[in-house]
């Protein structure tokens, strides 16, 4: 560890294997994985279809270069287009890279329209990544502090606030796009009002702005639809994906619809690894399994069971403010910082996460079965209730 840069405060545990929603650490202790490596392993660990696709592809060709045609990448583009209604995809290796592509696309689109200093509207509490452009787009001082000068060309409004965006529309002629998470993940699993995304679609249409949705966390079936914006019945101009796309094989995508799909021309953007045969094969197998195993329906149903179960167990417990989310993207907001629940979860054999200081976040695999979800509810409700009770007894802690 002394030879690793100090970018993470790592928990003292290492996992050596996994199967479905279960993982085992190097001491043989078993954990229920309710985090999926932060929304990555949607099919759980060691899914046979993904394992086979990776092994088969690795035995044929792992990497070729985007200087050549890549049939696996083309098939993946076709499949994602069919599922999303988008027209074209650019493949990269991560969420921040997918958002970098979207930001470059929006700026280029602006320049084509004669706007020389294009502005992208972004949201408070948004998270878009850690590269310079995406941390500048991110709405968190913690992410940005120390990395100034930030990139210019972003205008920030509160999430879920229609008036603030109308104000920008009335006052800023340089705006070319809105970049938004359909549900905010790192910001604390924030679910906007019914109709907010339709409002965004309408204002973007009216103003000639691109609507760019960051589905890096909320996409790939996580909320019970392929992509979370589909709950609102809209089609964005640009959508970014990563996390769950390759079930752990690093791959990201920036998809575009309509005129936005033709903004990039050769030489304007690229990636050495992006969409290579191995990553594309893993993503194709992931999409196929989500579809053939009915995992969108499962995510809705089991997510509902978890929210209802937690509601039953925790309603009326002082300190629990709200249980919210969609499908298997779930947040439990407490009235106090609760980071230590992560360590307590580890001790209890449960992998969870805390985001935005006070929100316990669950991102279990889409294959989670009702029996496993009941166990998750049981263990987590106990952890939270015990934590809140102990805090009440010793209010100096935390
Ligand atoms: C995780 C995340 C990113 C960044 O993805 P990386 O692969 O870590 O670069 C961007 N946007 C959202 C919404 C995310 O949740």
Q: Please say whether the beta carbons of 323 and 307 come within 8 A.
A: yes
Examine the pLDDT at 98 and tell me if it is beyond 50: yes
Examine the pLDDT at 92 and tell me if it is beyond 50: yes
What does the pLDDT read at residue 390? 87
Span from the CA of 183 to the centroid of ligand 1 (angstroms): 13
- Measured from the Cβ of residue 228, the count of other Cβ atoms closer than 10 Å reads 25
Closest CA to ligand 1's atom 10? 128
* Residue 242 Cβ < 6 Å to ligand 1: yes
The residue ranking higher by pLDDT, 310 or 390, is 310
Whether residue 127 lies in the annotated active site: yes
Q: Please say whether the beta carbons of 71 and 275 come within 8 A.
A: no
Average pLDDT score over the chain: 97
**Which atom of ligand 1 has the smallest separation from the CA of 184?**
13
As a whole number, mean pLDDT of residues 145-172 equals 98
Span from the CA of 292 to the centroid of ligand 1 (angstroms): 27
* Of 98, 122, 229, 242, best ligand 1 pocket probe by most atoms within 8 Å of the beta carbon: 242
Query: Which token pair is 184?
Result: 């905010």
Residue 395 banded pLDDT, cuts 50, 70, 90: low
Examine the pLDDT at 328 and tell me if it is beyond 90: yes
- DSSP conformational letter for 104: H
Summarize pLDDT for 195-238 with one digit per residue, the tens: 999 999 999 999 999 999 999 999 999 999 999 999 999 999 99
Global pTM value: 0.97
Residue by residue, DSSP assigns 121-165 as: EEETT----SSHHHHHHS--HHHHTT-PSPPS-EEEE-TT-HHHH
Examine the pLDDT at 38 and tell me if it is beyond 80: yes
CB-based burial, 274-306: b 16+ in 10 Å, e otherwise: bbbbbbbbbbbbbbebbeeeebbebbbbbbebb
* Residue 244 Cβ < 6 Å to ligand 1: no
As a whole number, mean pLDDT of residues 324-345 equals 98
What does the pLDDT read at residue 385? 97
Residue written as tokens 């805090």? 391
Query: Which token pair is 302?
Result: 């089991």
Could you tell me where the beta strands, DSSP code E, fall in the chain?
Answer: 15-19, 22-25, 30-33, 88-92, 119-123, 154-157, 175-180, 210-214, 238-241, 252-256, 320-326, 329-334, 350-351, 353-355, 359-362
Q: How far is CA 336 from CA 215, 388, 394, in A?
A: 28, 9, 13
Summarize pLDDT for 3-23 with one digit per residue, the tens: 999 999 999 999 999 999 999
3 state SS of 30: strand
Examine the pLDDT at 48 and tell me if it is beyond 50: yes
Span from the CA of 245 to the centroid of ligand 1 (angstroms): 12
Task: Given the residues 33, 91, 154, 214, select the one marked as catalytic.
Answer: 214
- CB within 8 A of 110, min separation 6: which ones? 116, 118, 174, 176, 177
Examine the pLDDT at 292 and tell me if it is beyond 50: yes
Residue 393 banded pLDDT, cuts 50, 70, 90: confident
CA distance 21 to 56: 24
> What percent of the chain shows pLDDT beyond 70?
99
Strand-strand pairing, 210-214 and 175-180: parallel
Span from the CA of 317 to the centroid of ligand 1 (angstroms): 33
Residue 398 banded pLDDT, cuts 50, 70, 90: very low
- DSSP conformational letter for 192: P
52: number of CA atoms within 13 Å, CB side? Answer: 6
* Residue 214 Cβ < 6 Å to ligand 1: yes
């Amino acid at each position: 560890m002394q030879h690793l840069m100090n970018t993470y405060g790592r928990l003292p545990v290492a996992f050596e294997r996994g199967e479905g929603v279960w993982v085992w650490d190097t001491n043989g202790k078993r954990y229920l994985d309710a985090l999926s490596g932060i929304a990555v392993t949607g099919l759980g660990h060691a899914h046979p279809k993904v394992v086979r696709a990776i092994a088969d592809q690795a035995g044929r060709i792992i990497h070729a270069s985007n200087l050549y045609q890549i049939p696996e990448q083309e098939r993946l583009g076709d499949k994602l287009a069919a599922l999303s209604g988008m027209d074209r995809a650019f493949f990269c290796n991560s969420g921040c890279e997918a958002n970098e592509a979207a930001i470059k696309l929006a700026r280029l689109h602006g320049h084509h329209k004669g706007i020389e200093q294009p502005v992208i509207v972004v949201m408070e509490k948004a998270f878009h990544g850690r590269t310079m452009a995406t941390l500048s787009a991110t709405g968190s001082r913690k992410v940005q502090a120390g990395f100034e000068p930030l990139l210019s060309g972003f205008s920030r409004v509160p999430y879920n606030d229609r008036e603030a965006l109308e104000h920008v529309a009335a006052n800023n002629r340089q705006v070319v796009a809105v970049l938004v998470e359909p549900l905010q993940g790192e910001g604390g699993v924030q679910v906007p009002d019914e109709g907010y995304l339709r409002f965004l679609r309408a204002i973007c249409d009216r103003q000639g702005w691109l609507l760019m949705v960051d589905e890096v966390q909320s996409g790939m079936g996580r909320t019970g639809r392929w992509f979370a914006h589909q709950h609102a019945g809209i089609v964005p101009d640009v959508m970014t994906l990563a996390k769950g796309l390759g079930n752990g094989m690093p791959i990201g995508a920036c998809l575009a619809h309509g005129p936005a799909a033709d903004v990039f021309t050769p030489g304007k953007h690229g990636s050495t690894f992006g969409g290579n045969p191995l990553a594309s094969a893993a993503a194709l197998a992931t999409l196929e399994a989500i579809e053939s195993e009915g995992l969108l329906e499962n995510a809705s149903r089991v997510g509902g069971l978890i929210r209802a179960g937690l509601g039953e167990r925790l309603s009326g417990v002082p300190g629990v403010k709200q249980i919210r989310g969609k499908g298997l993207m779930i947040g439990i907001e407490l009235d106090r910082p609760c980071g230590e629940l992560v360590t307590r979860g580890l001790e209890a054999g449960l992998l969870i996460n805390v985001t935005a200081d006070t929100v316990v976040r669950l991102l279990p695999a889409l294959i989670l079965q009702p029996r496993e979800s009941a166990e998750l509810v049981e263990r987590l409700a106990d952890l939270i209730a015990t934590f809140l009770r102990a805090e009440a007894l010793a209010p100096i802690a935390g």
